[in-house]
Amino acid sequence: MAELQVMWWIQRLRGNVARTSEEPSYGLLGRKLSYGVDYGNYMHQLAAEFGGAPSLRTLAVRSPRVCIAYCLGQAYISFFRLQGPYASEKAWAVSSGELFEPVVKRGLISNFVFVMTMAFFGTMNLIALLVELPFLVSSGLVRALRPSRASA
């Protein structure tokens, strides 16, 4: 995490990370634990802010092994060196070998259960969004979240 934070900070000093007025969404348990973060979410958001978050399309086209390791593995720093200002060919080699291996060793059944769990919770989140959307629209929050045409 510290390495990614340094990568982010360097890009911030170079002016490549815009200041944002948005409140971060990577905290644990909503705002109950202000001192903790959801590790994977935090890593991906930091990387996205400076252009280091990999594109699934790029991963799938260039190396399906890396795409599988990325989707079914942890938020390893090598994944945030696949694209962007810190891109490295060595990161591709590490991701397709060393980081792909734990996914394979986990086995087909465990990976299937993992994918089904993600699909289940993804579906639950989609349902919750669809239920909540009318309330968001009626309260004007959806309009407030859209960028204005003047700023676009």
Distance (Å, whole) CA 70 – CA 59? 9
Mean pLDDT of 70-79: 90
**Are 122 and 90 in contact, with CB atoms under 8 Å apart?**
no
In the chain, where are the structural domains located? 2-106, 108-152
pLDDT, tens only, 99-136: 999 999 999 999 999 999 999 999 999 999 899 888 87
pLDDT at 82: 95
Q: Which two tokens stand for residue 105?
A: 């060793």
Using pLDDT thresholds of 50, 70 and 90, give the confidence band for residue 149: low
* Range in 37-41, 49-53, 54-58, 59-63 the model is least confident about: 37-41
Mean pLDDT, rounded, for 28-40: 67
Mind giving me the DSSP string for the chain?
-HHHHHHHHHHHHTT-S----SPPS-EETTTTEEEEE-HHHHHHHHHHHHT-SPPHHHHHHH-HHHHHHHHHS---GGGGGSSSTT--HHHHHHHHTTTTHHHHHH-HHHHHHHHHHHHHHHHHHHHHHHHHHHHHHHHTHHHHHSPPTTT-
Residue 46 in this model has a pLDDT that exceeds 80: yes
pLDDT of residue 28: 59
Q: Output the CA angle 117-41-3, nearest 5 degrees.
A: 130
Given this model, what pLDDT does residue 143 score?
A: 63
pLDDT grade for 35, boundaries at 50, 70 and 90: low
- pLDDT for residue 135: 84
Average pLDDT over residues 75-86: 93
C-alpha R_g of the chain:
18
Report d(CA 112, CA 19) in Å as an integer.
40
